[in-house]
Amino acid sequence: MGQRPLDERRASAALKWAELQSSPVPLVFIGAASCGLAAGAEEVQEAVEKYLKKNGVKGRIIQVGCIGPCYLEPLMDVQMPGQPRISYSNVRPSDVPLILESFFEKKEVAKSRLAGHFGEDAYDGVPRFFDLPMLKPQVRIVLRNCGIIDPDDLDHYLARDGYLGLEKALSMSWSDVLDIIKRSGLRGRGGAGFPTWRKWLTCRETPSDERYLICNADEGDPGAFMNRSLIEGDPHALLEGMLVAAYAIGASKGYIYIRAEYPLAIRRLKKALVDMREAGLLGKDILGSEFSFDIRIKEGAGAFVCGEETALIASIEGKRGMPRTRPPFPAVSGLHGKPTIINNVETLGTLPHIMRNGAEWYAGSGTETSKGTKTFSLVGKVRRTGLIEVPLGMTLREVVFDIGGGTLKPFKAVQTGGPSGGCLSEEFLDTPIDYEHLAAAGSIMGSGGLIVVDTDTCIVDTAKYFLGFTQKESCGKCVPCRVGTRHMVKLLEKICGGRGELADLDKLEKLGRTIKSGSLCGLGATAPNPALTSLKYFRSEFIAHVKDKKCPAVVCKSLVNYRVVAGKCTGCQRCVSVCPTGAITGPRSEPHNLDRTKCIKCRSCYEICRFDAIAGDAIIIES
Amino acid sequence: MKERDFPSGDGLSGLRREFKGERGDLIPVLQRVQEIHGYLHPDSIRGVSRWLKVSENEIFGVATFYAQFRFHPPGRHHLRVCLGTACHVKGGEQILLTAQQRLNIDTGETTPDGEYDLDRVACLGCCALAPVVAVDDKVHAQMSVLKIQRILDGPKTA
């Protein structure tokens, strides 16, 4: 093959990347994705700038995306000339001068807040970052660039083999590309797990003058942020994937439907699109081929149901996001009546890697029916929270305990699939994570939210939460979903309020089955899952609420009381000062009184006693 | 509540150049209107209706369907309490109740002095740092009942 249009740019990018790796100027990397910023990355960066200025030393600051272990945020990496990149975790602005002083003045690796280094071999007693217990069991394909490269720099992406997958795709026929994806076994990562190639083929074989590709980045599941992290950390992976998909299905126009709640991700995408256009990767005759494609960003206006394909299309057309009957499927008649493919961010983000490394390489991970890797957001009551990527088929136990480090209080359940999924109890911990096994357990794979709960979380309350969410988000088209979810929420509220009867549990199950069978789209068809699985696997907890009027997890407000432990209380009066209703009284240095008729159970006294008072834990909540 | 001064006319003059004026532009247009004025004033809706040739009735139908659109003037600061799953299991509900009590308003409302408006959101995507709230664009991590009180009582962050 002769000179390719990107060759020159790629060579200079590789040089730029190599220079960065052996930079003569010290580098400071700041993890500045949304979660890092929330944890205080901006303040850390200011402290770094201040230190460099004050001491008149040279250093360059580079903002990178999220590398995954959110519990270590804010993360700051230091790379001195001739040393590997060394990462520091939970960095507060006050730690910055100490860490930098060690490197710049004492010329030694700072030891406090040390997490690990990014080199290959052992270095000066510092462990490898990717050997940390949370990272070691992971297989990073989709996330390989996240937290490593500057997401705003196309050269960084190119230097790490970016757009090689596209070049390979453009050198083949569309059917060869489709065949590679077929052999890779890739299934839709949005949750349903439909084979990607089959959807594409339907679209391609439908005669039309125009076809559309839509990237679904309306990550609506509460508790899931995989797509946000990928876009913030490696936007070009998604965009390259979109080009590959568009080439295979023959689309000339693409949309990214993204939540307006993700302003940083939108900013990164806009920058990336400008860079692509400049490099000839977008627009007419991409990379000198006859393939033309353009991408527009559409900001979602906040409606969970718009994750459903036909509702999403209605929303792009400027209508209420309400689903319609299928068939015709969008692959046949979608946006403006043309064949349309809607793929999830992660599905598209995987494509460049499959194209570059081959179908067999990708199919090498995973199980017989579920190939490859999947990203999950591991959150809730687990010790190590964050974004992870694991081969499919790994067990829930490995994810929760090996990667997540287990829970502080005893483990109770893991919730998969968000509001459409289910709560799985301890007996399912050895279930392999793949589409079939999770469905058999009554849950779904979903887009990748894994919410771990411990004995401090009330299952009834959690079910009420999810039903309350879907009830609010129900578009109102199908009566069983619109009215049924409302009744399920009412019943669950009754149970949490201590007014439940045993017959209510049967009513919940009956309603749930009706809603599932009588709703048009995925929202209604899965909305009862959290309640139904909870009833199945945690029935005793429901019965405790109904019969004993007790909440074993001490969560349901109507069933708990606050009490001052007289033997522990030193009478420091901190709780008296924060109580909004004057329920706590008592003279200084004597155990206080708590008047239950005035107490609104707002937790203020409990928290202040726990963290700020002299005695600590002298106020308890009990059921 | 003192309404912010609303410009005379429909306040859309600058937008006509940004969009082609197609039916599919309705939601982006409404988003831009809200970005400029902070909410959707009935005059703006009337203007959009004439411009895009979509009935006011239908525009209200679309706008009320989506959580993003407001029909009342916002406060100077926008407090959003996250009630995503992770925030819920870590006590987000109580954070919201505390904010409601402290500001003495319900969600979707603005304080009488126009300082804060309050919203609940489904997920801010910072689940690993739950529970979180956002004041304007700044996300505050690992909230507690006492921390939210301190934010609301302290100097206003811009």
3-state SS class at A129: helix
Interface test with A, best of B89, B132, B157 (most A CBs within 10 A): B89
* CA–CA distance, A426 with A372 (Å, rounded to integer): 26
What pLDDT does residue B3 have? 43
Contacts of A501 (CB under 8 A, 6+ apart): A546
Query: What backbone torsions phi and psi does residue A177 show, to the nearest 5 degrees?
Result: -60, -45
- Whether A319 has its CB under 8 Å from any CB of chain B: the answer is yes
pLDDT at residue A496 above 70? yes
Q: Give the mean model confidence (pLDDT) for residues A5-10.
A: 92
Contacts of A354 (CB under 8 A, 6+ apart): A165, A180, A181, A184, A186, A361, A362
- Whether A73 has its CB under 8 Å from any CB of chain B: the answer is yes
pLDDT at residue A617 above 90? no
* CA–CA distance, A184 with A139 (Å, rounded to integer): 16
Chain A contact set for B62 (CB, 8 A): 318-320
- State how far the alpha carbon of A485 is from the alpha carbons of A283, A481, A492, A538, B34, in Å: 46, 6, 10, 20, 31
- Whether A263 has its CB under 8 Å from any CB of chain B: the answer is yes
**Residue A421 and residue A528 in contact, taking contact as beta carbons nearer than 8 Å:** no
Cβ contact, residue pair B85, A604, below 8 Å: no
Contacts of A358 (CB under 8 A, 6+ apart): A180
What pLDDT does residue B4 have? 47
- Reference A344, options A203, A227, A462, A470; nearest CA is A227
| pLDDT grade for B1, boundaries at 50, 70 and 90 | very low
A155-159, A284-288, B98-102, range with the lowest pLDDT: B98-102
Percent pLDDT > 90 in chain A is: 78
Distance from CA of B89 to the nearest CA of A (A): 6
- State how far the alpha carbon of B138 is from the alpha carbons of A126, B77, B157, in Å: 34, 11, 9
**Residue A254 and residue A242 in contact, taking contact as beta carbons nearer than 8 Å:** yes
| pLDDT grade for B8, boundaries at 50, 70 and 90 | low
* CA–CA distance, B116 with B133 (Å, rounded to integer): 13
* CA–CA distance, B26 with B63 (Å, rounded to integer): 9
* pLDDT tens-place string over residues A185-223: 999 998 888 999 999 999 999 999 999 999 999 988 887
* pLDDT tens-place string over residues A266-319: 999 999 999 999 999 999 999 999 999 999 999 998 899 999 999 999 999 999
**Hey, CA dihedral for B136, A230, A215, A323, is it positive or negative?**
negative
pLDDT at residue A157 above 70? yes
**Residue A217 and residue A345 in contact, taking contact as beta carbons nearer than 8 Å:** yes
Determine the residue type at A25.
V
Q: Give the mean model confidence (pLDDT) for residues A520-526.
A: 92
pLDDT at residue A584 above 70? yes
Q: Give the mean model confidence (pLDDT) for residues A30-42.
A: 89
pLDDT at residue A507 above 90? yes
Percent pLDDT > 70 in chain A is: 100
* CA–CA distance, A619 with A571 (Å, rounded to integer): 11
Contacts of B102 (CB under 8 A, 6+ apart): B148, B149, B152, B153
Pairing relationship of beta strands A373-380 and A449-454 according to DSSP bridges: parallel
Chain A contact set for B94 (CB, 8 A): 602-603
Looking at the partner chain, which of A73, A223, A301 has a beta carbon nearest the beta carbon of B127?
A223
* CA–CA distance, A370 with A364 (Å, rounded to integer): 11
Q: Look-up: residue for tokens 């299928």?
A: A326
* pLDDT tens-place string over residues A107-120: 999 999 999 999 88
Cβ contact, residue pair A303, B69, below 8 Å: no
Looking at the partner chain, which of A38, A298, A302 has a beta carbon nearest the beta carbon of B66?
A302
Looking at the partner chain, which of A70, A320, A466 has a beta carbon nearest the beta carbon of B61?
A320
- Reference B63, options B45, B37, B75; nearest CA is B45
Q: Is B17 left (phi over 0), alpha (psi -120 to 50) or beta?
A: alpha
Q: What domains can you pick out in chain A, each with its CATH number?
A: 22-128 (3.40.30.10), 163-351 (3.40.50.11540), 373-454 (3.10.20.600), 459-546 (1.20.1440.230), 560-622 (3.30.70.20)
Interface test with A, best of B65, B71, B153 (most A CBs within 10 A): B65
Cβ contact, residue pair B127, A603, below 8 Å: no
What pLDDT does residue B15 have? 84
**Chain B residue with Cα closest to A70:** B128
**Residue A70 and residue A81 in contact, taking contact as beta carbons nearer than 8 Å:** no
- Whether A417 has its CB under 8 Å from any CB of chain B: the answer is no
**CATH architecture label of B77-153:** 3-Layer(aba) Sandwich (3.40)
A10-14, A234-238, B127-131, range with the lowest pLDDT: B127-131
What pLDDT does residue A610 have? 82
- State how far the alpha carbon of A432 is from the alpha carbons of A43, A308, A397, in Å: 41, 27, 9
Pairing relationship of beta strands A27-31 and A60-64 according to DSSP bridges: parallel
* CA–CA distance, A142 with A351 (Å, rounded to integer): 9
What pLDDT does residue A529 have? 94
Residue A15, token pair as written in the block = 């040089």
**Residue A30 and residue A147 in contact, taking contact as beta carbons nearer than 8 Å:** no
* CA–CA distance, A538 with A237 (Å, rounded to integer): 41
Q: A389-407: b or e for each residue (b if 16 or more CB lie within 10 Å)?
A: bbbbbbbbbbbbbbbbbbb
Distance from CA of A177 to the nearest CA of B (A): 32
Q: Which of residues 552-581 of A touch B (CB under 8 A)?
A: 578, 580
Cβ contact, residue pair B89, A304, below 8 Å: no
- Reference A224, options A374, A74, A17; nearest CA is A374
3-state SS class at A556: coil
Distance from CA of B114 to the nearest CA of A (A): 23
Determine the residue type at A379.
V
Q: Look-up: residue for tokens 């439907």?
A: A257
**Secondary structure (DSSP) of A359-373:** HHHHHTSB-SSSBSE
| pLDDT grade for B109, boundaries at 50, 70 and 90 | confident
Cβ contact, residue pair A303, B65, below 8 Å: yes
Q: Report the Cα A117 to chain-centroid distance in Å.
A: 25
pLDDT at residue B9 above 80? no
Domains in chain B: boundaries: 13-65, 77-153
Residue A448 burial by CB count (10 A; 0-12/13-18/19+): exposed, middle or buried? Answer: buried
Chain B contact set for A581 (CB, 8 A): none
Cβ contact, residue pair B145, A462, below 8 Å: no
- Whether A381 has its CB under 8 Å from any CB of chain B: the answer is yes
Chain A contact set for B127 (CB, 8 A): 222-225, 377, 379, 385, 449
